[in-house]
Amino acid sequence: EVQLQQSGPEVGRPGSSVKISCKASGYTFTDYVMNWVKQSPGQGLEWIGWIDPEYGSTDYAEKFKKKATLTADTSSSTAYIQLSSLTSEDTATYFCARSGAPFDYWGQGVMVTVSS
Amino acid sequence: EIVLTQSPTTIAASPGEKVTITCRASSSVSYMYWYQQKSGASPKLWIYDTSKLASGVPNRFSGSGSGTSYSLTINTMETEDAATYYCQQWSSTPLTFGSGTKLEIK
């Protein structure tokens, strides 16, 4: 059974960074791209970017290029997103989602709250 | 960037009623994907490659369209279908989602 297990909720101070994990199981981690999606409170879905775990190659939406860094550890089948220079605009739920083409499996989401 | 415009933003339907949600793309896309999201839960893949139902999706759902105009239809609304539905395009990066259609039961 494919599962994407994300880490727990995070609280970050303005200007700091947080790093969220997404541990994959039930499939070969390097066979699929991992995407990250942001959902602000009460809002829709925004694609942040993806990482190809096999090669480490990444692609980001323009607005997230200076905000997010995607990495992957093939030894633990875990993908990561680091969010830097946190502001109130980063308060949101962040999902990882596996894709071949569509996003067929999603993590449970991680709530990131930016608060002083 | 391909912008996806969904309509309506919100719709209320009675059980047994037919429901159609549309998604218009600012440029032509090859396929459309649809996700269902219920409150407090992760989105679920619902329809892929425009018209194929994801595993476990009831056959009262269907998808259609081409080019810049796509739709998701529920033949007979059921209470469990109340959710927010998002369209998504994969034809070019950045991948984009529609703003969502909230479907409520009347």
pLDDT tens figures, B4-50: 999 999 999 999 999 999 999 999 999 999 999 999 999 999 999 99
Splitting chain A (116 residues) into consecutive groups of 10 residues, what average pLDDT does each group show? 96 97 97 97 96 96 97 98 97 95 93 96
Q: Does B61 touch chain A (CB under 8 A)?
A: no
Chain B hits for A67, CB-CB cut-off 8 Å, are none
Does B88 sit within 8 Å of A102, measured CB to CB? yes
Chain B hits for A47, CB-CB cut-off 8 Å, are 94-97
Among A47, A59, A62, the residue with its CB nearest the CB of B97 is A47
**Complete DSSP assignment for A28-47:** -GGGSEEEEEEE-TT--EEE
Residues A9 and B3: their CA atoms lie apart, in Å, by 31
In one-letter notation, the amino acid at residue B82 is A
Q: CA angle B85-B4-A112, nearest 5°?
A: 60
Q: Does A41 touch chain B (CB under 8 A)?
A: no
